[in-house]
Amino acid sequence: GQNIDQPTEMTATEGAIVQINCTYQTSGFNGLFWYQQHAGEAPTFLSYNVLDGLEEKGRFSSFLSRSKGYSYLLLKELQMKDSASYLCAVLPGSARQLTFGSGTQLTVLP
Amino acid sequence: AAGVIQSPRHLIKEKRETATLKCYPISRHDTVYWYQQGPGQDPQFLISFYEKMQSDKGSIPDRFSAQQFSDYHSELNMSSLELGDSALYFCASGERNTEAFFGQGTRLTVV
């Protein structure tokens, strides 16, 4: 089966940097995605990693290590609007649909 | 460009009734996914279609069925509704093995 783990909750201060970790064990691997989801809204695509290394996109960066089954999402210069749930999702090798982790609820404090 | 469109946005049904949710994917996307998200839970994969053929099946109850039509829109049909079916239902579309773009979801409340 597929297993994706992320911390349930994190808290950080406005202007700070936060790193959200994700570990996964899947049968095959075709990429890892990070989504942001505000309560009651649709998940919004943030980043995609399929090769090892760091992908940077403005204030957000995502890192992948396939050998360790590990990824992290790095958020810099935190803003209040970054308070949301961050979902790690993996595209296993055998299937074409994303498998989601339970999400990390990030709260940004003033 | 237009995103994934879902209708209706909100739906209230009684137990044992039937509901139909509609999804209009982004143009040229060849894959449609349906997800169910309960309160405080992560999205759970239900079913997907690739080029209008059913592709993968997840934790979709036998009471639910889905299809994709020639114009690529998809419908999720839910029968004998139960209280536990109350959730957000997301449709997403994408190109094979790439990220999925989500619609705004349909909030189904079963009373």
Q: Is B7 on the interface with A (CB under 8 A)?
A: no
A104 contacts A20 by C-beta, under 8 angstroms? yes
Write down the pLDDT at residue A28.
Answer: 83
- CB atoms under 10 Å from CB of A59, counted, come to 13
Write down the pLDDT at residue A96.
Answer: 66
Q: Is the peptide bond before A43 cis (omega within 30 degrees of 0)?
A: no
Chain A residue with minimum CA distance to B10: A40
Q: Is B13 on the interface with A (CB under 8 A)?
A: no
User: Which residues from chain B sit within 8 angstroms of residue A103, using beta carbons?
Assistant: 42
User: Which residues from chain B sit within 8 angstroms of residue A43, using beta carbons?
Assistant: 43, 90, 102
Residue A1 pLDDT more than 60?
A: no
User: Which residues from chain B sit within 8 angstroms of residue A101, using beta carbons?
Assistant: 42
Each residue of B31-64: pLDDT tens digit?
999 999 998 888 888 999 988 898 888 889 999 9
Write down the pLDDT at residue B104.
Answer: 92
Closest CA to B89 of B49, B60, B62, B67: B60
Rounded CA gap, B35 and B23, in Å?
12
B110 contacts A62 by C-beta, under 8 angstroms? no
Rounded CA gap, B35 and B76, in Å?
10
Q: Which residues of A touch B (CB under 8 A)?
A: 30-31, 33, 35, 40-45, 48, 87, 91, 95-103
Chain B residue with minimum CA distance to A47: B99
Share of chain B above pLDDT 70, in %: 98
Sheet with B74-78, side-by-side order of all strands: B5-7, B19-24, B74-78, B64-68
Each residue of A55-105: pLDDT tens digit?
998 999 999 999 999 999 999 999 999 999 999 999 877 666 788 888 999
User: Which residues from chain A sit within 8 angstroms of residue B107, using beta carbons?
Assistant: 40
| Contacts for A58 with CB less than 8 Å, ≥ 6 apart | none
Average pLDDT over residues A31-42: 92
Which among B43, B50, B107 has the least Cβ separation from residue A100?
B43
Burial of A28 (0-12, 13-18, 19+ CB in 10 A): exposed
A76 contacts A18 by C-beta, under 8 angstroms? no
Closest CA to A97 of B100, B80, B103, B82: B100
A72-99 residues labelled b (16+ CB within 10 A) or e (exposed): bbebeebeeebbbbbbbbbbbeebbbbb
Ordered DSSP codes for B21-70: EEEEPPTT--EEEEEEE-TTS--EEEEEEETTEEEEE-S--TTEEEEE-T
B91 contacts B25 by C-beta, under 8 angstroms? yes
Rounded CA gap, B98 and A10, in Å?
28
